[in-house]
Structure 1
Amino acid sequence: MSTTGLTEIGQKPTTPAAPRRRAWEQRVHGGVGLLLAAPLVIGLALFVGYPLLRIFLDASSGGEPLSRYGDVLSGEVSRRALLTTLGNSVLVVLVATTLGIALAWTLHVTERRWVRVLLWTTALVPFWMGVIVKNYSIYLMLSANGPLNTFLQDVGLTDGPLNLLYTQTAVIVGIAYSLVPYAVLSLYSAFMHIDRELLNAAQTLGASRVRAMASVVLPMARGGVATSMALVFVLSIGFYVTPIMLGGAQTPFMATLISQQIFNLYDYPGAAASAAVLLLIAVAVVGAVFATVGGRALKAALR
Protein backbone atom coordinates (compact mmCIF):
# COMPACT_ATOMS: atom_id res chain seq x y z
CA MET A 1 0.00 0.00 0.00
CA SER A 2 1.43 3.37 -0.99
CA THR A 3 0.40 6.98 -0.72
CA THR A 4 1.47 10.18 -2.45
CA GLY A 5 4.83 11.50 -1.22
CA LEU A 6 5.75 8.10 0.40
CA THR A 7 7.93 5.35 -1.03
CA GLU A 8 7.05 1.68 -0.94
CA ILE A 9 8.28 -0.44 1.97
CA GLY A 10 11.87 -1.49 1.49
CA GLN A 11 12.73 1.22 -1.03
CA LYS A 12 14.98 4.17 -0.34
CA PRO A 13 13.51 7.61 -0.71
CA THR A 14 14.48 9.26 -3.98
CA THR A 15 15.33 12.94 -4.46
CA PRO A 16 14.71 14.78 -7.71
CA ALA A 17 17.86 15.21 -9.79
CA ALA A 18 19.27 18.75 -9.78
CA PRO A 19 19.21 20.44 -13.17
CA ARG A 20 22.55 20.45 -14.92
CA ARG A 21 24.06 23.90 -15.28
CA ARG A 22 26.63 24.89 -17.78
CA ALA A 23 29.95 25.84 -16.25
CA TRP A 24 30.90 29.49 -16.65
CA GLU A 25 33.56 29.95 -19.29
CA GLN A 26 35.81 32.97 -19.35
CA ARG A 27 36.41 32.65 -23.06
CA VAL A 28 33.68 33.56 -25.50
CA HIS A 29 33.17 31.30 -28.47
CA GLY A 30 34.07 32.66 -31.87
CA GLY A 31 30.49 32.82 -33.07
CA VAL A 32 29.29 34.75 -30.01
CA GLY A 33 32.21 37.17 -30.21
CA LEU A 34 31.53 37.78 -33.90
CA LEU A 35 27.87 38.41 -33.16
CA LEU A 36 28.72 40.91 -30.41
CA ALA A 37 31.22 42.70 -32.63
CA ALA A 38 28.89 42.78 -35.64
CA PRO A 39 27.25 46.17 -34.82
CA LEU A 40 30.66 47.80 -34.36
CA VAL A 41 32.03 46.26 -37.55
CA ILE A 42 28.96 47.36 -39.52
CA GLY A 43 29.19 50.87 -38.06
CA LEU A 44 32.88 51.14 -38.95
CA ALA A 45 32.20 49.89 -42.46
CA LEU A 46 29.32 52.33 -43.04
CA PHE A 47 30.64 55.45 -41.31
CA VAL A 48 34.42 55.06 -41.74
CA GLY A 49 35.28 52.59 -44.48
CA TYR A 50 32.68 53.64 -47.06
CA PRO A 51 33.30 57.43 -46.76
CA LEU A 52 37.06 56.92 -47.09
CA LEU A 53 36.59 54.69 -50.12
CA ARG A 54 34.14 57.18 -51.61
CA ILE A 55 36.73 59.98 -51.31
CA PHE A 56 39.19 58.13 -53.53
CA LEU A 57 36.47 57.07 -55.96
CA ASP A 58 35.20 60.64 -56.34
CA ALA A 59 38.73 61.99 -56.69
CA SER A 60 39.36 59.51 -59.51
CA SER A 61 36.02 59.92 -61.30
CA GLY A 62 35.99 61.30 -64.84
CA GLY A 63 38.80 62.84 -66.79
CA GLU A 64 42.36 62.22 -65.71
CA PRO A 65 42.25 61.13 -62.06
CA LEU A 66 45.95 61.67 -61.35
CA SER A 67 45.79 65.24 -62.60
CA ARG A 68 43.61 66.23 -59.64
CA TYR A 69 46.23 65.05 -57.18
CA GLY A 70 48.83 66.94 -59.18
CA ASP A 71 46.70 70.09 -59.03
CA VAL A 72 46.62 69.85 -55.24
CA LEU A 73 50.41 69.78 -55.10
CA SER A 74 51.12 72.23 -57.90
CA GLY A 75 48.28 74.75 -57.63
CA GLU A 76 49.30 78.01 -55.96
CA VAL A 77 46.29 78.21 -53.64
CA SER A 78 46.19 74.54 -52.68
CA ARG A 79 49.98 74.33 -52.26
CA ARG A 80 49.96 77.33 -49.94
CA ALA A 81 47.10 75.84 -47.91
CA LEU A 82 48.88 72.47 -47.72
CA LEU A 83 52.19 73.99 -46.63
CA THR A 84 50.43 76.20 -44.08
CA THR A 85 48.55 73.21 -42.69
CA LEU A 86 51.65 71.02 -42.41
CA GLY A 87 53.89 73.77 -41.04
CA ASN A 88 51.43 74.87 -38.37
CA SER A 89 50.69 71.25 -37.47
CA VAL A 90 54.39 70.55 -36.88
CA LEU A 91 54.60 73.57 -34.57
CA VAL A 92 51.46 72.41 -32.76
CA VAL A 93 53.05 68.99 -32.29
CA LEU A 94 56.12 70.56 -30.69
CA VAL A 95 54.07 72.78 -28.37
CA ALA A 96 51.50 70.15 -27.38
CA THR A 97 54.06 67.39 -26.88
CA THR A 98 56.33 69.59 -24.76
CA LEU A 99 53.46 70.67 -22.53
CA GLY A 100 52.14 67.11 -22.46
CA ILE A 101 55.50 65.73 -21.28
CA ALA A 102 55.70 68.32 -18.49
CA LEU A 103 52.12 67.74 -17.31
CA ALA A 104 52.17 63.94 -17.65
CA TRP A 105 55.50 63.52 -15.83
CA THR A 106 54.43 65.84 -13.03
CA LEU A 107 51.22 63.84 -12.65
CA HIS A 108 53.31 60.67 -12.46
CA VAL A 109 55.81 61.82 -9.84
CA THR A 110 53.89 64.25 -7.64
CA GLU A 111 52.59 63.01 -4.31
CA ARG A 112 50.52 66.09 -3.49
CA ARG A 113 46.84 65.49 -3.97
CA TRP A 114 45.93 69.10 -4.73
CA VAL A 115 48.60 69.27 -7.45
CA ARG A 116 47.22 66.16 -9.12
CA VAL A 117 43.67 67.49 -8.96
CA LEU A 118 44.75 70.85 -10.37
CA LEU A 119 46.76 69.30 -13.22
CA TRP A 120 44.06 66.78 -14.15
CA THR A 121 41.50 69.57 -14.17
CA THR A 122 43.74 71.70 -16.37
CA ALA A 123 44.34 68.83 -18.77
CA LEU A 124 40.75 67.62 -19.01
CA VAL A 125 38.82 70.91 -19.08
CA PRO A 126 39.28 71.30 -22.87
CA PHE A 127 37.55 67.93 -23.29
CA TRP A 128 34.45 69.29 -21.58
CA MET A 129 34.26 72.46 -23.68
CA GLY A 130 32.76 72.83 -27.11
CA VAL A 131 34.84 73.85 -30.12
CA ILE A 132 33.24 77.29 -30.37
CA VAL A 133 33.66 77.94 -26.64
CA LYS A 134 37.37 77.03 -26.71
CA ASN A 135 38.10 79.19 -29.73
CA TYR A 136 36.05 82.10 -28.42
CA SER A 137 37.95 81.99 -25.12
CA ILE A 138 41.25 82.21 -27.01
CA TYR A 139 39.77 85.02 -29.11
CA LEU A 140 38.91 87.02 -25.99
CA MET A 141 42.33 86.31 -24.47
CA LEU A 142 44.21 87.61 -27.53
CA SER A 143 41.94 90.50 -28.50
CA ALA A 144 43.11 94.11 -28.36
CA ASN A 145 41.19 94.72 -25.12
CA GLY A 146 41.88 91.24 -23.76
CA PRO A 147 43.67 90.42 -20.51
CA LEU A 148 46.97 89.60 -22.23
CA ASN A 149 47.29 92.95 -24.00
CA THR A 150 46.05 94.74 -20.89
CA PHE A 151 48.70 93.06 -18.75
CA LEU A 152 51.49 93.86 -21.21
CA GLN A 153 50.49 97.52 -21.25
CA ASP A 154 50.09 97.74 -17.47
CA VAL A 155 53.60 96.43 -16.83
CA GLY A 156 55.04 98.77 -19.47
CA LEU A 157 56.20 96.15 -21.96
CA THR A 158 54.13 97.64 -24.78
CA ASP A 159 52.82 101.12 -25.52
CA GLY A 160 49.68 99.86 -27.22
CA PRO A 161 47.79 96.64 -27.93
CA LEU A 162 49.63 94.04 -29.97
CA ASN A 163 48.07 92.51 -33.07
CA LEU A 164 47.76 88.97 -31.73
CA LEU A 165 44.60 87.86 -33.52
CA TYR A 166 44.51 86.58 -37.10
CA THR A 167 48.10 85.43 -36.91
CA GLN A 168 49.91 82.12 -37.11
CA THR A 169 50.60 82.29 -33.38
CA ALA A 170 46.90 82.57 -32.56
CA VAL A 171 46.12 79.50 -34.68
CA ILE A 172 48.90 77.46 -33.05
CA VAL A 173 47.76 78.47 -29.56
CA GLY A 174 44.14 77.61 -30.34
CA ILE A 175 44.89 74.19 -31.85
CA ALA A 176 47.45 73.30 -29.18
CA TYR A 177 44.98 74.18 -26.44
CA SER A 178 42.54 71.68 -27.90
CA LEU A 179 45.10 68.90 -28.42
CA VAL A 180 47.20 69.08 -25.25
CA PRO A 181 44.78 66.70 -23.43
CA TYR A 182 45.41 64.01 -26.08
CA ALA A 183 49.16 64.39 -25.56
CA VAL A 184 48.83 64.25 -21.78
CA LEU A 185 46.73 61.08 -21.75
CA SER A 186 48.96 59.16 -24.16
CA LEU A 187 52.16 60.27 -22.41
CA TYR A 188 50.83 59.59 -18.92
CA SER A 189 50.04 56.03 -19.99
CA ALA A 190 53.66 55.63 -21.12
CA PHE A 191 55.16 57.23 -17.98
CA MET A 192 53.17 54.94 -15.69
CA HIS A 193 55.46 52.02 -16.61
CA ILE A 194 58.67 53.91 -15.75
CA ASP A 195 60.18 53.40 -12.31
CA ARG A 196 60.95 56.77 -10.72
CA GLU A 197 63.92 55.27 -8.92
CA LEU A 198 65.77 55.12 -12.25
CA LEU A 199 65.69 58.91 -12.38
CA ASN A 200 66.98 59.13 -8.81
CA ALA A 201 69.76 56.65 -9.64
CA ALA A 202 70.85 58.73 -12.63
CA GLN A 203 70.96 61.86 -10.48
CA THR A 204 72.95 59.99 -7.83
CA LEU A 205 75.54 59.12 -10.47
CA GLY A 206 75.97 62.81 -11.28
CA ALA A 207 73.41 63.52 -14.00
CA SER A 208 71.31 66.64 -13.75
CA ARG A 209 67.53 66.34 -13.73
CA VAL A 210 67.32 67.53 -17.34
CA ARG A 211 69.98 65.07 -18.50
CA ALA A 212 68.38 62.25 -16.53
CA MET A 213 65.05 63.00 -18.23
CA ALA A 214 66.67 63.15 -21.66
CA SER A 215 68.86 60.05 -21.28
CA VAL A 216 66.68 57.78 -19.10
CA VAL A 217 63.00 58.71 -19.14
CA LEU A 218 62.44 59.83 -22.73
CA PRO A 219 64.21 56.84 -24.35
CA MET A 220 62.09 54.48 -22.26
CA ALA A 221 58.94 56.39 -23.20
CA ARG A 222 59.81 56.86 -26.87
CA GLY A 223 56.79 54.81 -27.89
CA GLY A 224 54.44 57.07 -25.96
CA VAL A 225 56.15 60.22 -27.24
CA ALA A 226 55.93 59.00 -30.83
CA THR A 227 52.28 58.02 -30.38
CA SER A 228 51.50 61.42 -28.88
CA MET A 229 53.22 63.29 -31.70
CA ALA A 230 51.51 61.24 -34.40
CA LEU A 231 48.11 61.60 -32.76
CA VAL A 232 48.43 65.37 -32.37
CA PHE A 233 49.67 65.79 -35.95
CA VAL A 234 46.89 63.70 -37.49
CA LEU A 235 44.25 65.59 -35.54
CA SER A 236 45.73 69.04 -36.18
CA ILE A 237 45.81 68.80 -39.99
CA GLY A 238 42.02 68.41 -40.02
CA PHE A 239 41.13 71.52 -37.99
CA TYR A 240 38.55 73.80 -39.61
CA VAL A 241 36.93 76.17 -37.09
CA THR A 242 40.10 77.31 -35.30
CA PRO A 243 41.99 78.56 -38.39
CA ILE A 244 38.91 80.52 -39.48
CA MET A 245 38.18 82.14 -36.11
CA LEU A 246 41.75 82.87 -35.04
CA GLY A 247 43.68 82.97 -38.30
CA GLY A 248 41.35 84.34 -40.92
CA ALA A 249 42.61 84.59 -44.51
CA GLN A 250 46.23 84.85 -43.35
CA THR A 251 46.44 81.18 -42.35
CA PRO A 252 44.41 79.10 -44.83
CA PHE A 253 44.15 75.46 -43.85
CA MET A 254 43.30 72.57 -46.15
CA ALA A 255 39.97 72.10 -44.40
CA THR A 256 39.05 75.68 -45.34
CA LEU A 257 40.07 75.07 -48.95
CA ILE A 258 38.02 71.86 -49.09
CA SER A 259 34.99 73.74 -47.77
CA GLN A 260 35.39 76.42 -50.45
CA GLN A 261 35.76 73.78 -53.17
CA ILE A 262 32.50 72.14 -52.11
CA PHE A 263 30.23 75.09 -51.28
CA ASN A 264 31.66 77.92 -53.40
CA LEU A 265 33.23 76.28 -56.45
CA TYR A 266 31.05 73.13 -56.48
CA ASP A 267 34.17 71.15 -57.30
CA TYR A 268 33.48 67.99 -55.34
CA PRO A 269 36.09 65.82 -57.16
CA GLY A 270 38.73 68.47 -56.44
CA ALA A 271 37.69 68.58 -52.79
CA ALA A 272 37.87 64.79 -52.66
CA ALA A 273 41.40 64.92 -54.10
CA SER A 274 42.44 67.47 -51.46
CA ALA A 275 40.97 65.31 -48.71
CA ALA A 276 42.68 62.24 -50.15
CA VAL A 277 46.07 63.98 -50.07
CA LEU A 278 45.55 64.86 -46.40
CA LEU A 279 44.52 61.30 -45.65
CA LEU A 280 47.58 59.86 -47.40
CA ILE A 281 49.85 62.23 -45.47
CA ALA A 282 48.27 61.14 -42.18
CA VAL A 283 48.69 57.46 -43.08
CA ALA A 284 52.30 58.08 -44.11
CA VAL A 285 53.07 59.80 -40.79
CA VAL A 286 51.53 56.96 -38.77
CA GLY A 287 53.39 54.40 -40.87
CA ALA A 288 56.69 56.26 -40.44
CA VAL A 289 56.23 56.40 -36.68
CA PHE A 290 55.41 52.70 -36.58
CA ALA A 291 58.47 51.85 -38.69
CA THR A 292 60.79 54.11 -36.69
CA VAL A 293 59.73 53.25 -33.16
CA GLY A 294 58.63 49.68 -33.72
CA GLY A 295 55.52 47.73 -32.89
CA ARG A 296 56.67 46.62 -29.44
CA ALA A 297 57.31 50.16 -28.24
CA LEU A 298 53.91 51.32 -29.49
CA LYS A 299 52.16 48.38 -27.85
CA ALA A 300 53.92 49.12 -24.57
CA ALA A 301 52.88 52.76 -24.82
CA LEU A 302 49.23 51.85 -25.42
CA ARG A 303 48.89 49.37 -22.56
Structure 2
Amino acid sequence: MNLINISGNTFYIRGGTNTGLYLFDNNSALIIDPGLSGARPNKIIKILNERNIELKYIINTHEHNDHFGACSQFKEYYKDVEILSSEEAKLYIEKLELFSKYIMGGKSNIFMDEKLKNRSPKEICIDTVITEGILNINNKKFEVFNFKGHTPGSIGVLTDDKVLFVGDLLVGEEMLSKYDFLFLFDIEEQIKSLERIENIDFEYMVIAHSKKFISKDESYKIIDKHKTAIDKYMNQVRTYLNNPITIENILKHIIVNNNLSHNYKEYHFFKSSLISLISYLIDLGEVNYILKDGELLYYTKNK
Protein backbone atom coordinates (compact mmCIF):
# COMPACT_ATOMS: atom_id res chain seq x y z
CA MET A 1 0.00 0.00 0.00
CA ASN A 2 1.46 3.31 -1.12
CA LEU A 3 0.61 7.00 -1.16
CA ILE A 4 0.45 7.83 -4.87
CA ASN A 5 0.74 11.42 -6.08
CA ILE A 6 -1.75 12.49 -8.75
CA SER A 7 -1.03 16.21 -9.00
CA GLY A 8 0.27 18.86 -6.61
CA ASN A 9 -0.98 18.16 -3.10
CA THR A 10 -3.52 15.54 -4.19
CA PHE A 11 -2.77 11.85 -3.64
CA TYR A 12 -4.62 8.56 -3.41
CA ILE A 13 -4.15 5.13 -1.84
CA ARG A 14 -5.26 2.20 -3.96
CA GLY A 15 -7.50 -0.47 -2.54
CA GLY A 16 -10.83 -2.21 -2.89
CA THR A 17 -12.10 1.31 -2.34
CA ASN A 18 -9.61 3.95 -3.42
CA THR A 19 -8.95 6.55 -0.75
CA GLY A 20 -8.10 10.13 -1.70
CA LEU A 21 -5.75 12.32 0.31
CA TYR A 22 -5.11 16.05 0.15
CA LEU A 23 -1.97 17.26 1.95
CA PHE A 24 -2.13 20.76 3.41
CA ASP A 25 0.87 23.07 3.75
CA ASN A 26 1.14 22.37 7.49
CA ASN A 27 1.42 18.61 6.81
CA SER A 28 -2.09 17.88 7.99
CA ALA A 29 -4.43 16.00 5.67
CA LEU A 30 -7.94 15.43 4.44
CA ILE A 31 -8.94 11.99 3.19
CA ILE A 32 -11.84 11.13 0.91
CA ASP A 33 -13.57 7.75 1.35
CA PRO A 34 -11.62 5.99 4.13
CA GLY A 35 -13.01 2.57 3.10
CA LEU A 36 -14.00 -0.41 5.21
CA SER A 37 -13.01 -0.94 8.81
CA GLY A 38 -10.35 -3.55 9.64
CA ALA A 39 -6.74 -3.78 8.53
CA ARG A 40 -6.83 -1.06 5.86
CA PRO A 41 -7.27 1.99 8.13
CA ASN A 42 -4.40 0.75 10.32
CA LYS A 43 -2.17 0.56 7.24
CA ILE A 44 -3.18 4.07 6.22
CA ILE A 45 -2.39 5.36 9.71
CA LYS A 46 1.05 3.77 9.41
CA ILE A 47 1.62 5.51 6.07
CA LEU A 48 0.62 8.85 7.59
CA ASN A 49 2.83 8.36 10.65
CA GLU A 50 5.85 7.51 8.50
CA ARG A 51 5.44 10.91 6.83
CA ASN A 52 4.50 12.81 10.00
CA ILE A 53 1.09 13.60 8.51
CA GLU A 54 -1.79 14.29 10.88
CA LEU A 55 -5.29 13.46 9.69
CA LYS A 56 -7.67 16.36 10.32
CA TYR A 57 -10.65 15.80 8.00
CA ILE A 58 -12.58 12.96 6.37
CA ILE A 59 -15.09 13.43 3.53
CA ASN A 60 -17.44 10.55 2.69
CA THR A 61 -18.71 10.65 -0.89
CA HIS A 62 -21.80 8.61 -0.04
CA GLU A 63 -23.58 6.35 2.39
CA HIS A 64 -22.24 2.85 1.58
CA ASN A 65 -20.10 1.29 4.27
CA ASP A 66 -17.29 0.22 1.93
CA HIS A 67 -16.60 3.97 1.74
CA PHE A 68 -17.26 5.23 5.27
CA GLY A 69 -16.81 2.15 7.46
CA ALA A 70 -13.30 3.04 8.66
CA CYS A 71 -14.34 6.43 10.04
CA SER A 72 -14.71 5.08 13.56
CA GLN A 73 -11.17 3.65 13.58
CA PHE A 74 -9.69 6.91 12.37
CA LYS A 75 -11.74 8.76 15.01
CA GLU A 76 -10.30 6.54 17.73
CA TYR A 77 -6.74 7.32 16.64
CA TYR A 78 -7.20 10.98 15.63
CA LYS A 79 -9.50 12.30 18.35
CA ASP A 80 -10.05 15.68 16.70
CA VAL A 81 -10.67 14.49 13.15
CA GLU A 82 -13.70 16.16 11.55
CA ILE A 83 -16.01 13.84 9.59
CA LEU A 84 -18.06 15.32 6.75
CA SER A 85 -20.82 14.11 4.41
CA SER A 86 -23.98 15.26 2.67
CA GLU A 87 -27.23 15.50 4.65
CA GLU A 88 -28.69 12.41 2.96
CA ALA A 89 -25.53 10.37 3.53
CA LYS A 90 -25.43 11.42 7.19
CA LEU A 91 -28.81 9.77 7.78
CA TYR A 92 -27.57 6.35 6.63
CA ILE A 93 -24.05 6.63 8.05
CA GLU A 94 -25.32 7.41 11.54
CA LYS A 95 -28.10 4.77 11.37
CA LEU A 96 -26.34 1.73 9.92
CA GLU A 97 -29.41 -0.50 10.05
CA LEU A 98 -31.30 1.72 7.57
CA PHE A 99 -29.38 0.45 4.55
CA SER A 100 -30.34 -3.21 4.99
CA LYS A 101 -33.94 -2.19 5.73
CA TYR A 102 -34.01 -0.14 2.53
CA ILE A 103 -32.59 -3.02 0.48
CA MET A 104 -35.00 -5.56 1.99
CA GLY A 105 -38.02 -3.25 1.89
CA GLY A 106 -38.71 -4.08 5.52
CA LYS A 107 -36.94 -5.64 8.50
CA SER A 108 -33.65 -7.25 7.59
CA ASN A 109 -32.64 -10.83 8.42
CA ILE A 110 -29.57 -12.92 9.12
CA PHE A 111 -29.09 -13.82 5.44
CA MET A 112 -28.63 -10.16 4.52
CA ASP A 113 -26.87 -9.11 7.71
CA GLU A 114 -24.20 -11.81 7.27
CA LYS A 115 -23.48 -10.48 3.76
CA LEU A 116 -23.20 -6.95 5.14
CA LYS A 117 -21.00 -7.93 8.09
CA ASN A 118 -18.17 -5.59 7.08
CA ARG A 119 -19.83 -2.67 8.78
CA SER A 120 -18.17 -0.14 11.03
CA PRO A 121 -17.77 -1.88 14.40
CA LYS A 122 -18.78 1.32 16.22
CA GLU A 123 -21.18 4.16 15.67
CA ILE A 124 -20.11 7.04 13.46
CA CYS A 125 -21.13 10.64 13.95
CA ILE A 126 -21.02 13.14 11.09
CA ASP A 127 -19.60 16.38 12.46
CA THR A 128 -20.30 18.61 9.49
CA VAL A 129 -22.89 18.44 6.71
CA ILE A 130 -21.63 19.74 3.37
CA THR A 131 -23.62 20.94 0.39
CA GLU A 132 -22.90 21.65 -3.25
CA GLY A 133 -20.59 24.59 -3.81
CA ILE A 134 -17.27 25.88 -2.51
CA LEU A 135 -16.00 24.23 0.66
CA ASN A 136 -13.27 26.05 2.60
CA ILE A 137 -11.07 23.78 4.68
CA ASN A 138 -7.81 24.85 6.32
CA ASN A 139 -7.48 27.89 4.01
CA LYS A 140 -7.94 25.74 0.89
CA LYS A 141 -10.92 25.68 -1.44
CA PHE A 142 -12.58 22.46 -2.57
CA GLU A 143 -15.66 22.22 -4.76
CA VAL A 144 -18.48 19.85 -3.88
CA PHE A 145 -20.87 18.52 -6.54
CA ASN A 146 -24.18 16.73 -6.13
CA PHE A 147 -23.75 13.40 -7.90
CA LYS A 148 -27.04 11.79 -6.94
CA GLY A 149 -28.03 8.58 -8.68
CA HIS A 150 -26.03 5.76 -7.17
CA THR A 151 -27.42 6.93 -3.83
CA PRO A 152 -29.49 9.94 -2.72
CA GLY A 153 -26.49 11.40 -0.86
CA SER A 154 -23.70 10.90 -3.40
CA ILE A 155 -21.29 13.80 -3.91
CA GLY A 156 -18.07 14.50 -5.79
CA VAL A 157 -15.09 16.51 -4.55
CA LEU A 158 -12.74 18.61 -6.69
CA THR A 159 -9.38 19.71 -5.27
CA ASP A 160 -7.47 22.83 -6.30
CA ASP A 161 -5.14 20.51 -8.24
CA LYS A 162 -8.10 19.82 -10.55
CA VAL A 163 -8.45 16.23 -9.34
CA LEU A 164 -12.08 15.09 -9.17
CA PHE A 165 -13.11 12.32 -6.76
CA VAL A 166 -16.43 10.83 -7.92
CA GLY A 167 -17.04 7.99 -5.44
CA ASP A 168 -19.29 5.38 -7.08
CA LEU A 169 -20.83 7.65 -9.70
CA LEU A 170 -18.63 5.60 -12.02
CA VAL A 171 -16.87 2.26 -11.67
CA GLY A 172 -13.65 1.28 -13.41
CA GLU A 173 -13.77 -0.28 -16.87
CA GLU A 174 -12.52 -3.62 -15.58
CA MET A 175 -15.42 -3.78 -13.09
CA LEU A 176 -17.99 -2.44 -15.56
CA SER A 177 -17.10 -5.18 -18.05
CA LYS A 178 -18.07 -7.79 -15.42
CA TYR A 179 -20.89 -6.04 -13.55
CA ASP A 180 -22.76 -3.75 -15.93
CA PHE A 181 -26.15 -4.01 -14.17
CA LEU A 182 -25.31 -1.04 -11.99
CA PHE A 183 -26.52 -0.53 -8.44
CA LEU A 184 -28.58 2.65 -8.85
CA PHE A 185 -31.12 4.40 -6.67
CA ASP A 186 -32.35 7.05 -9.13
CA ILE A 187 -31.88 6.60 -12.89
CA GLU A 188 -32.85 10.15 -13.87
CA GLU A 189 -30.44 11.68 -11.36
CA GLN A 190 -27.70 9.25 -12.40
CA ILE A 191 -28.00 10.33 -16.04
CA LYS A 192 -27.94 14.01 -15.02
CA SER A 193 -24.85 13.44 -12.88
CA LEU A 194 -23.02 11.68 -15.72
CA GLU A 195 -23.80 14.59 -18.02
CA ARG A 196 -22.60 17.14 -15.45
CA ILE A 197 -19.07 15.76 -15.47
CA GLU A 198 -18.39 17.06 -18.97
CA ASN A 199 -18.89 20.65 -17.77
CA ILE A 200 -16.56 20.40 -14.77
CA ASP A 201 -13.05 21.83 -15.07
CA PHE A 202 -10.86 18.93 -13.97
CA GLU A 203 -7.74 17.21 -15.29
CA TYR A 204 -7.79 13.88 -13.44
CA MET A 205 -10.51 11.68 -12.00
CA VAL A 206 -10.38 9.15 -9.18
CA ILE A 207 -13.05 6.44 -9.35
CA ALA A 208 -13.50 4.64 -6.04
CA HIS A 209 -13.42 1.16 -7.56
CA SER A 210 -10.78 1.27 -10.27
CA LYS A 211 -7.18 0.14 -10.69
CA LYS A 212 -5.93 3.59 -11.74
CA PHE A 213 -6.84 7.25 -11.86
CA ILE A 214 -7.76 8.61 -15.28
CA SER A 215 -7.56 11.81 -17.33
CA LYS A 216 -10.58 13.89 -18.32
CA ASP A 217 -10.31 12.62 -21.90
CA GLU A 218 -10.32 9.02 -20.64
CA SER A 219 -13.37 9.76 -18.50
CA TYR A 220 -15.52 10.48 -21.58
CA LYS A 221 -15.11 6.90 -22.75
CA ILE A 222 -16.14 5.36 -19.45
CA ILE A 223 -19.06 7.79 -19.05
CA ASP A 224 -20.35 6.63 -22.44
CA LYS A 225 -20.02 3.00 -21.34
CA HIS A 226 -22.07 3.73 -18.22
CA LYS A 227 -24.79 5.36 -20.32
CA THR A 228 -24.72 2.36 -22.66
CA ALA A 229 -25.13 -0.01 -19.69
CA ILE A 230 -28.17 1.92 -18.46
CA ASP A 231 -29.70 1.90 -21.94
CA LYS A 232 -28.99 -1.82 -22.33
CA TYR A 233 -31.03 -2.81 -19.28
CA MET A 234 -33.70 -0.18 -19.83
CA ASN A 235 -34.34 -1.62 -23.29
CA GLN A 236 -34.42 -5.15 -21.91
CA VAL A 237 -37.00 -4.09 -19.33
CA ARG A 238 -39.08 -2.41 -22.04
CA THR A 239 -39.10 -5.68 -23.98
CA TYR A 240 -40.25 -7.72 -20.98
CA LEU A 241 -43.01 -5.17 -20.32
CA ASN A 242 -44.68 -5.83 -23.67
CA ASN A 243 -46.91 -8.20 -21.70
CA PRO A 244 -48.00 -7.79 -18.05
CA ILE A 245 -45.26 -9.21 -15.83
CA THR A 246 -44.13 -9.15 -12.20
CA ILE A 247 -40.90 -7.55 -11.05
CA GLU A 248 -39.65 -10.95 -9.89
CA ASN A 249 -40.10 -12.45 -13.36
CA ILE A 250 -38.39 -9.49 -15.04
CA LEU A 251 -35.49 -9.91 -12.63
CA LYS A 252 -35.30 -13.62 -13.38
CA HIS A 253 -35.02 -12.90 -17.11
CA ILE A 254 -32.34 -10.25 -16.55
CA ILE A 255 -30.22 -12.48 -14.30
CA VAL A 256 -30.48 -15.56 -16.52
CA ASN A 257 -30.16 -13.87 -19.92
CA ASN A 258 -27.19 -11.76 -18.83
CA ASN A 259 -25.55 -14.54 -16.83
CA LEU A 260 -25.31 -12.35 -13.73
CA SER A 261 -23.62 -14.14 -10.85
CA HIS A 262 -25.22 -13.30 -7.54
CA ASN A 263 -25.67 -14.21 -3.90
CA TYR A 264 -28.50 -13.29 -1.52
CA LYS A 265 -27.28 -9.71 -1.09
CA GLU A 266 -26.60 -9.15 -4.78
CA TYR A 267 -30.03 -10.51 -5.73
CA HIS A 268 -31.61 -7.77 -3.61
CA PHE A 269 -29.22 -5.18 -5.04
CA PHE A 270 -30.31 -6.21 -8.56
CA LYS A 271 -33.94 -6.04 -7.51
CA SER A 272 -33.44 -2.54 -6.08
CA SER A 273 -31.87 -1.37 -9.36
CA LEU A 274 -34.70 -2.95 -11.35
CA ILE A 275 -37.31 -1.15 -9.29
CA SER A 276 -35.42 2.09 -9.94
CA LEU A 277 -35.49 1.38 -13.69
CA ILE A 278 -39.22 0.66 -13.68
CA SER A 279 -39.90 3.78 -11.59
CA TYR A 280 -37.97 5.82 -14.15
CA LEU A 281 -40.07 4.37 -16.99
CA ILE A 282 -43.24 5.10 -15.00
CA ASP A 283 -42.12 8.71 -14.54
CA LEU A 284 -41.57 8.90 -18.31
CA GLY A 285 -45.19 7.88 -18.78
CA GLU A 286 -44.33 4.58 -20.50
CA VAL A 287 -45.58 2.05 -17.96
CA ASN A 288 -48.82 1.16 -16.20
CA TYR A 289 -49.84 -1.65 -13.86
CA ILE A 290 -52.67 -4.02 -13.04
CA LEU A 291 -53.48 -6.12 -9.97
CA LYS A 292 -54.57 -9.61 -10.96
CA ASP A 293 -54.98 -12.78 -8.89
CA GLY A 294 -52.91 -11.37 -6.05
CA GLU A 295 -50.06 -10.25 -8.30
CA LEU A 296 -48.81 -6.79 -9.22
CA LEU A 297 -48.12 -6.74 -12.97
CA TYR A 298 -46.44 -3.95 -14.94
CA TYR A 299 -46.81 -3.44 -18.67
CA THR A 300 -46.04 -0.94 -21.41
CA LYS A 301 -48.79 1.55 -22.18
CA ASN A 302 -50.29 1.53 -25.66
CA LYS A 303 -48.78 4.27 -27.79
Q: TM-score, length-normalised on structure 1?
A: 0.22
Higher strand share: 2
Q: Report which of the two structures shows the higher radius of gyration computed on alpha carbons.
A: 1
By relative contact order (CA 8 Å, sep 6+), the higher-ranking structure is 1
Q: TM-score, length-normalised on structure 2?
A: 0.22
